[in-house]
Chain A
Amino acid sequence: MTLLQTPIAAEKRTDRDEGLLEKATERRNRRTYLALLLPGLLGLLVSFVFPLAYMIRMSFNKGAPDGVIVETFTLDTYIQPLTDPYYWRVTLDTFQMGVTVGILCVLVSYPVALFLARSTSKYRGLLIAIAIAPLLTSAVVRTYGWMVILGTNGLINSSLEGLGLIDTPLKLTNNMTGVTIGLVEIFMPYAILAMISGFGRLSPQLEEAAGSLGASKFKVFTRVTLPLSLPGLLTAFLLVFVLAISTFITPRLLGGGSVQVLATEIYDQTTGLLNWPFAAALSVILLVLFGLIIAVYQRLTKKIGG
């Protein structure tokens, strides 16, 4: 019935009515999308915005021994991490770890991503899934796996000793070496995912064309494949870098207390020393480091045109 009546009703409408009707639908639409958005926005306000804002405010308070917090508004808390050589060391170590893990992770992920991007196998989907599935496994479990492999009685040391290649076990855990190896593997799926998505303009046809025009394999790679995959590689590096400088579980477990990075320092200050303003100031420094890197990245991608 409504279907039949609509055209007649429409004919009778004047321009003014039309405008009013439009406004009414707009208002109803507005009410609908606000109602749909509101629960989610409130949820994020409580679980995300408030904690972050409170943390930033806390960094301007002053911490006293035994967890006493002096409510004030000062930059004093920032003076120690920015002047004390120990915290410079920690920040630099964190930065260095991010760069090392980023570069190594890109190096080991690139061949896999290249293989997956080019593959025409019917198992391609499965192979992609296997490469990124570890993303959904627990970081604690994967780090534990690396402790089993790298530990004093672990797979590597037992094998090398069994083969008579070494007398004393190599020190692969409780130091930066172990943390780096673990992190490279843990972030590989992220890097592969970022690369496959970033390889948009890379096509086997282009490589074939270069080859048929007489370019050597090496030249095809350096002049065609590599330049075209550069945006993907850069995105992957950046992603791994930011993940690495903020990661906590792996430095804590594989570092065994002897690797101090910003994340472990934040934890120690929070739960051990109860110096909350100080932990908050370190977190703000970590966030600023994040912001800087992302700004640099956006500059770079503009230059490359990716």
Chain B
Amino acid sequence: MSDVRIFKPRFNPAKPAFGLLVFLLYLFLLAPLLIVCVVSFASNQYLSFPPEGLTLKWYEMLPQESTFMEGMKVSLIVAVIVTLIVLALGVPAALALDRFDFKAKAAVQSFFLSPLLIPSIVLALGMVLLFGPLGLTNTYAGIIIGHVAITIPFVIRTTLMSLATTDTSCEAAARVLGADSWTVFRRVTLPIIQPGVIAGGVIAFIVSFDEAVISLFVAESGLPTLPVQVLRYVENSADAAVAALSVILILISLAVVVVVERVMGLRKALR
């Protein structure tokens, strides 16, 4: 019915105005990312406008900036290990939550998602207080344990999402045909949950890689991650080297966004 139009639609001036408003709001939303890209190519010695010319010198400076390189190394090591750990912890837990029935199921599921409800500054404080006496501050172990809490919910959620869209009949069929549990998992369940595992994995990677507050509390002095180094640099310097670095960080995020969008849809994965 709705496509049958009895009245010819008149020109409505509200429509383009609304379109313009939405466009401007998108511009506002993307403004900080766009401006960082512009500044990273500007030849101005200190932060100012308008750009005096184009240059790649800030990008050429990056490899010589040892704090950035050191931070990049720490962040990459942490993010890779965190991703592997939370996949190993989160995927089986999501399987249990979807494929089995037990009493406290709803409670266990909310427990797995609850770290996202606690302010990261509060968690970070708890971590530095507990890890200090245990000798875990300023160590890889300390940062990694800290990041596990805030990345597990994403893996659980995306894996549950892919499990929810399929029923258990494929697995039952494989079992009836004589496959043992491991074969069923490897040949049937894993392909089913693959999108969720990939999406959860790359989200866990980028969340850990970009995380600043826990890293700042747990390892500011001894083992600064890249976001901590950027934070310090931004506070103390006014040149655009950090803009070039930021563009690289944005590109890494963009790669993650593309992967997540491809395998399961960004909106579904982050809901």
Contact = CB atoms under 8 A, between A and B. Distances in A.
Interface of A: 2-3, 29-30, 32-37, 39-41, 43-44, 46-48, 50-55, 58, 108-109, 111-112, 115, 125, 128-149, 151, 153-155, 158-159, 162, 182, 185, 188-189, 193, 196-197, 204-205, 208, 217, 242, 245-249, 252-253, 263, 266-267, 270-271, 276, 279-280, 283, 286-287, 290
Contacts of A185: 28-29, 31-32
Contacts of A188: 28-29
Interface stretch (B56-64, B126-134, B160-168, B190-198): B126-134
Contacts of A182: 32
A146 B111 contact: no
B78 interface: no
B68 interface: no
Max count, chain B CB within 10 A of own CB: residue among A30, A33, A248: A33
B242 interface: yes
A48 B149 contact: yes
A144 B234 contact: yes
A119 B130 CA distance: 50
B206 interface: yes
B47 A134 contact: no
Contact of B231 (A136, A208, A242, A253): A253
Chain A facing B: main interface SS: helix
A189 B26 CA distance: 10
- Could you say which interface size class chain B belongs to? 35 or more
Interface in B159-177: 176-177
Given A54-B129, A141-B230, A154-B47, A286 B119 contact: yes
B257 A129 contact: yes
Contacts, number: 264
A142 B32 contact: yes
B261 interface: yes
Given A39-B92, A144-B242, A148-B47, A128 B266 contact: yes
Contact of B48 (A32, A139, A158): A158
A195 to B, nearest CB: 12
Contacts of B261: 125, 129
A141 B249 contact: yes
27 contacts: A3-B176, A37-B108, A39-B88, A40-B152, A43-B89, A44-B149, A48-B114, A52-B118, A55-B125, A58-B129, A111-B18, A133-B266, A137-B33, A137-B250, A140-B210, A142-B33, A144-B36, A148-B47, A155-B35, A188-B29, A197-B271, A253-B235, A263-B121, A270-B217, A283-B121, A283-B122, A290-B119
B145 interface: yes
B76 interface: no
B36 A141 contact: yes
A21 B266 CA distance: 44
A43 B267 contact: no
A141 B212 CA distance: 11
A35 B181 CA distance: 14
Given A112-B25, A148-B39, A217-B14, A153 B125 contact: no
A266 B22 contact: no
Contacts of A159: 49
Given A132-B267, A137-B249, A253-B235, A146 B95 contact: no
Given A29-B100, A140-B212, A249 B231 contact: yes
Contacts of A43: 85-86, 89, 148, 152
Contacts of A108: 25, 28
Given A132-B266, A133-B254, A48 B93 contact: no
Closest 9 CB pairs of A and B: A145-B32, A246-B119, A51-B126, A40-B93, A55-B126, A158-B49, A36-B96, A47-B149, A138-B210
A93 B191 CA distance: 50
Given A131-B29, A249-B231, A155 B49 contact: yes
Interface string B136-163: 0000000001111100100010000000
Max count, chain B CB within 10 A of own CB: residue among A128, A155, A189, A204: A155
A123 to B, nearest CB: 12
A41 B93 contact: yes
A146 B145 CA distance: 31
Interface string B241-269: 01100100110011011001100011100
A252 B227 CA distance: 14
A148 B93 contact: no
B224 to A, nearest CB: 12
B178 interface: yes
B182 interface: no
B123 A138 contact: no
A148 B36 contact: yes
Contact of B267 (A51, A58, A128, A162): A128
B120 A246 contact: yes
B31 A51 contact: no
A55 B257 contact: no
